[in-house]
Chain A
Amino acid sequence: MKLELRGITKSFGPLVANDHIDLVVEPGQIHALLGENGAGKSTLMNVLFGLYSADEGEILLDDEERTFEGPGDALAAGIGMVHQHFMLVPVFTVAENVMLGHEATKSAGLLDLEAARTRVRELAARFGFELDPDAVVEDLPVGVQQRVEIVKALARDAKVLILDEPTAVLTPQETDELIGIMRQLRDAGTSIVFITHKLREVRAVADVITVIRRGRVVGSASPDAAETELASMMVGRAVSLSLGKAPAQPGDTTFEVRNLTVLDAAGSVVLDDVSFDLARGEILTVAGVQGNGQTELAEALLGLTPPIAGSVRLEGRDLVGLSPREVLDAGVGFVPEDRSVDGLVGDFTVEENLVLDLVHTPAYSRGGALNLGAIRRNAEHRIDEFDIRTQGPAQAAGRLSGGNQQKVVLARELSRPLKLFVASQPTRGVDVGSIEFLHRRIVAERDNGTPVLIVSTELDEVVELADRIAVMYRGRIVGIVPADTPRDVLGLMMAGVPQSEAEQQAAEHPTAGL
């Protein structure tokens, strides 16, 4: 089915998320929509899917104008969408999720679960993967959950399939399989809109690329365009994609984690016997698919969750049992994975956020009274140093862009002498330009002689920053490998394959280079 968007405009208050966007997707074509976070890609697709109503513009399917009051209309017209955040009911089975909204019924209005099971098996067999129709969705790994989403869309005979950032939660091997499925679908005549900000994938799979920046279409590119060319289209200026950092000069090993084990509230092991060392002047990055214990590792190091076993020693002092306050005072800088929840107080001003964990020190307060002058001077200095784009120190931090919010968090944590720097997802949701800047700051901290631990689910970032890489799977460290380890090997290790076996498998069966 041919899909055409003409002059789609959608604003949220003063923010114009989509500004007269035109897009044509031909049948049997994979059309990549490339743009940074916040460029308006998802908004556009939500308009197409009937979740938002457009202020202006029209949607044409096979040259016929259509209006969608809600997702129901879009589904009926043959548009399916795999959302970035899965739209699956966690406590339902695969079959129940797939049938939801278009349930087949037997006599007396009872659900015909058997029909749904058969449909799931059929579709799974067509694309060559295993899917148990009776598995409860919340028990499935994310990669499998995504297949459920795809099956869900296909079960309704989607002629246009929208995939919104589908690879964000996948290992490279899973991404490879997804691309295989996408190609199969394309060859069967399905039109695919593939939304992403990952240049590598776009070049591997897209037939046509449309680049969106700040709500506008800034141009299209062919899949054989160079990555730097695509990146500068996305960002609007020349960017350098490689960090080009100097080799590490590791000093003494000052940070040692031994046999760290953490349970979650339900008593399941979420961090399982984790041990590693970190030297001054070295960056260790923790790689892994989201939800494999990285969050728990960072939280245990900060003292937010008490481990049931193991030790964390920083320059000889055991940090286990200390409160987060005491851990921070021991010289640990900590960047939490979700800045808006844990990193910042959105309603506080930029200057207040810049001293959140320092405000009790004599430099910023005396006898319970804030030293407002010092706080303002600090803010002006940091804003300048970190190039934080703000209207001024008194602006509410929540009103800054994601990249600038992240700069505030990093500026605060790097503004005191550190013995250890821990950052989770330091550049999640940050624009390409700011990523480059933040990475340079992190490397500068390393070169100052601080041991640095970075937790990231973005493989690009892991490889870019690492001096060494620790790969986590289901709460365990599968292995600690050098920074130049091939991506195929890392990907297999992220799926739990031990290092030596991963190397062997990767050599025998290289992936498409993702």
Chain B
Amino acid sequence: MSAAVDTRPAAPAPAARVPSPLARRSWKAPITFGVLGLAALVLFGLLPSGGKETTFAIGASGTWFHLTDFTIPSKAGAIVLSLICLALAGYAAWRVRDGHKPGRWVGAVFGVAWVLAFLTWAVAGKSVSIVSLLQSSLVLAVPLAFGAMGGLLGERAGVVNIAIEGQLLTGAFGAALVASVTHSVYAGLIAAPVAGLLIGSLLALFTVKYRVNQIIVGVVLNVLAVGLTSFLYASVLKPNEATLNSPPRLQAVSIPVLANIPVVGPVLFRQTILVYLLYVAVVVLTISLFRTRWGLRVRAVGEHPLAADTVGINVQATRWRNVLLGSMVAGLGGAFFTLGSVGKFAQEMTAGKGYIALAAMILGRWTPIGSLGAALLFGFANALQLVLSVLDVPVPNQLMLMLPYLVTIVAVAGLVGRVRGPAAAGEPYVKE
């Protein structure tokens, strides 16, 4: 080493990834906001609605103090909210013109204002309870959030878990059967992950050990789960509905003190044990993935398996463990359908929720907290559809049934943009 070292230019700074002024600006967000805002103004503000006033109920019994309902004039309210949407579109356009990104809060505020504008119009002349809307959003988000976490556990280690749908379905079936036989919801809650594990172990066997294409195996396992549960339902459960398919249902448990907080209490802390398990799962998984040795190794395996191998991490074992764990988490989510919701098993009752869970995982950028947030978004769309179909709003119910799926597509295609998942997800690890 010569003296040249001293005079050399300092090591180049990390490659600056600043978008250049020449970079094509993305006008996608402002344009979308503008069109939607205009549509809201015309449809919800200017077109006739079912009544003059809209009532939002925010109170619930048993809280410290009772919040009274508030009522707003439908037309004026919808117009004001639509104008807020348009203002946000204008702000986004201004930001983009200056070469910035609009910022994530703009999208969030826009979404809330737009949905409120829609509600103001749709519920005109009637009353809607915001508390119960949020309550059922959370409930409906449960299988999605568990499913998404089951998916991300696999993908963080490099195995794409398309079989979430199958894990939810077998989880639902196992929970119903075992809870019916034992007359215990807790036995059902234990059976659900075990049933999910059945699908998960097949997934791990074929993708990790035999290195079959992960997408194909996942889809085939979903079909297998549908076939298997439908067959067992028709041949075993249906003839014995009373003994084998009438599980006890999960009861809401109020958490002392917390449940008495207005709005927040009834929404978050008067739920079933499954919801509380979800809270625990999100916290534990977040810490484990990002703060522990286990998580660091899992993420290394999912990003660069060969690098993980060269520092002595067993790639195959890590993948096995994670797929199995993920399938148990997803299977537990399946218990929602039978123990938490319907109260009995029905054929193909998951109805594509596993795929929406996959979308929630991507929208949540492969993190437990993000997945929960995305699941809540989809759950809200679902809850909105349920509430509005009961209220007999001036929108055809068939159209409303599309809502959760529509939101999924818009969210994944529009909001996500370019996200980067674990680099090695989907690729079998082959050691020469």
Q: Which residues of A contact B (CB under 8 A)?
A: 12, 49, 51-52, 70-73, 75-76, 81, 83, 86-92, 96, 99-103, 105, 109-111, 128-130, 135-136, 139-141, 143-144, 152, 173, 176-177, 179-180, 183, 261, 263, 265-269, 308-309, 474, 492, 495-497, 505, 508-512
CB < 8 Å neighbour of A176 from B1, B9, B431: B1
CB < 8 Å neighbour of B1 from A86, A141, A180: A180
- The contact string, 1 if C-beta is below 8 Å from chain A, for chain B 204-220, is 00000000000000000
- The contact string, 1 if C-beta is below 8 Å from chain A, for chain B 298-337, is 0110011011111111100000000000000000000000
Bound Cα distance from A256 to B15, whole angstroms:
29
| 27 contacts across the A-B interface (CB closer than 8 A) | A71-B312, A73-B312, A76-B312, A83-B310, A87-B307, A88-B304, A89-B303, A89-B308, A92-B303, A102-B312, A105-B292, A109-B293, A111-B293, A130-B10, A139-B15, A140-B14, A177-B1, A177-B5, A263-B23, A266-B19, A268-B17, A268-B23, A309-B22, A492-B8, A495-B9, A495-B12, A497-B9
Bound Cα distance from A72 to B2, whole angstroms:
37
Contact A70 B312 (CB under 8 A): yes
- Is B61 interfacial (CB-CB < 8 Å)? no
Query: With contacts A141-B12, A263-B22 known, is A100 near B4, CB below 8 A?
Result: no
Contact B300 A100 (CB under 8 A): yes
Query: With contacts A75-B312, A100-B296, A268-B20 known, is A91 near B303, CB below 8 A?
Result: yes
Q: In the assembled complex, which residues on chain A have CB atoms less than 8 Å from the CB atom of B431? A: 51
Q: In the assembled complex, which residues on chain B have CB atoms less than 8 Å from the CB atom of A101? A: 297, 308, 311-313
Bound Cα distance from A286 to B27, whole angstroms:
37
- The contact string, 1 if C-beta is below 8 Å from chain A, for chain B 272-298, is 000000000000000100011110110
Q: In the assembled complex, which residues on chain A have CB atoms less than 8 Å from the CB atom of B313? A: 72, 100-101
Contact A89 B304 (CB under 8 A): yes
Q: In the assembled complex, which residues on chain A have CB atoms less than 8 Å from the CB atom of B314? A: 70, 72
Bound Cα distance from A170 to B223, whole angstroms:
52
Bound Cα distance from A143 to B20, whole angstroms:
25
Bound Cα distance from A180 to B1, whole angstroms:
5
Contact B293 A105 (CB under 8 A): yes
- Is B418 interfacial (CB-CB < 8 Å)? yes
Q: Is the interface of B mostly helix, strand, loop or mixed?
A: loop
Closest chain-A Cβ to B299's Cβ sits at a distance in Å of 7
- Is B399 interfacial (CB-CB < 8 Å)? no
Q: In the assembled complex, which residues on chain A have CB atoms less than 8 Å from the CB atom of B18? A: 268
Most interface-central of A71, A179, A261, A505 (chain B CB within 10 A): A71
Closest chain-B Cβ to A479's Cβ sits at a distance in Å of 15
Q: In the assembled complex, which residues on chain A have CB atoms less than 8 Å from the CB atom of B351? A: none
CB < 8 Å neighbour of B432 from A52, A75, A183: A52
Contact B1 A263 (CB under 8 A): no
Q: In the assembled complex, which residues on chain B have CB atoms less than 8 Å from the CB atom of A73? A: 312
- Is B7 interfacial (CB-CB < 8 Å)? yes
Query: With contacts A70-B312, A100-B300, A111-B293 known, is A266 near B17, CB below 8 A?
Result: yes
Q: In the assembled complex, which residues on chain B have CB atoms less than 8 Å from the CB atom of A72? A: 311-314
Q: A261: nearest residue on chain B (CB-CB)?
A: B22
CB < 8 Å neighbour of B4 from A81, A105, A269, A511: A511
Q: In the assembled complex, which residues on chain B have CB atoms less than 8 Å from the CB atom of A143? A: 11
Q: In the assembled complex, which residues on chain B have CB atoms less than 8 Å from the CB atom of A141? A: 11-12, 14-15
Most interface-central of A72, A143, A179 (chain B CB within 10 A): A72
Q: A129: nearest residue on chain B (CB-CB)?
A: B11
CB < 8 Å neighbour of A508 from B7, B307, B311: B7
Contact A70 B311 (CB under 8 A): no
Q: In the assembled complex, which residues on chain A have CB atoms less than 8 Å from the CB atom of B293? A: 103, 105, 109, 111
Contact A88 B312 (CB under 8 A): no
- Is B198 interfacial (CB-CB < 8 Å)? no
Contact B22 A269 (CB under 8 A): yes
Q: B23: nearest residue on chain A (CB-CB)?
A: A267
Bound Cα distance from A511 to B3, whole angstroms:
9
> Nearest 3 A-B pairs (CB), nearest first?
A72-B312, A180-B1, A101-B311
Q: In the assembled complex, which residues on chain B have CB atoms less than 8 Å from the CB atom of A263? A: 20, 22-24
Contact B4 A173 (CB under 8 A): yes
Contact B311 A496 (CB under 8 A): no
Q: In the assembled complex, which residues on chain B have CB atoms less than 8 Å from the CB atom of A269? A: 20, 22-23
Closest chain-B Cβ to A507's Cβ sits at a distance in Å of 11
CB < 8 Å neighbour of A111 from B7, B22, B292: B292
CB < 8 Å neighbour of B304 from A49, A90, A180: A90
Closest chain-B Cβ to A167's Cβ sits at a distance in Å of 15
Bound Cα distance from A140 to B5, whole angstroms:
19
Contact A110 B291 (CB under 8 A): yes
Contact B310 A87 (CB under 8 A): yes
Bound Cα distance from A404 to B426, whole angstroms:
34
Bound Cα distance from A257 to B336, whole angstroms:
64
Q: In the assembled complex, which residues on chain A have CB atoms less than 8 Å from the CB atom of B308? A: 89, 100-101
Q: A91: nearest residue on chain B (CB-CB)?
A: B303
- Is B423 interfacial (CB-CB < 8 Å)? yes
Bound Cα distance from A263 to B22, whole angstroms:
9
Q: In the assembled complex, which residues on chain B have CB atoms less than 8 Å from the CB atom of A509? A: 2-4, 7
Q: In the assembled complex, which residues on chain B have CB atoms less than 8 Å from the CB atom of A268? A: 17-20, 23
Q: In the assembled complex, which residues on chain B have CB atoms less than 8 Å from the CB atom of A87? A: 304, 306-307, 310-311
Q: A113: nearest residue on chain B (CB-CB)?
A: B291
Closest chain-A Cβ to B418's Cβ sits at a distance in Å of 7
Q: In the assembled complex, which residues on chain A have CB atoms less than 8 Å from the CB atom of B5? A: 128, 177, 180
Q: B303: nearest residue on chain A (CB-CB)?
A: A89
Query: With contacts A70-B312, A309-B22 known, is A89 near B15, CB below 8 A?
Result: no
Bound Cα distance from A431 to B336, whole angstroms:
63
Q: A291: nearest residue on chain B (CB-CB)?
A: B15
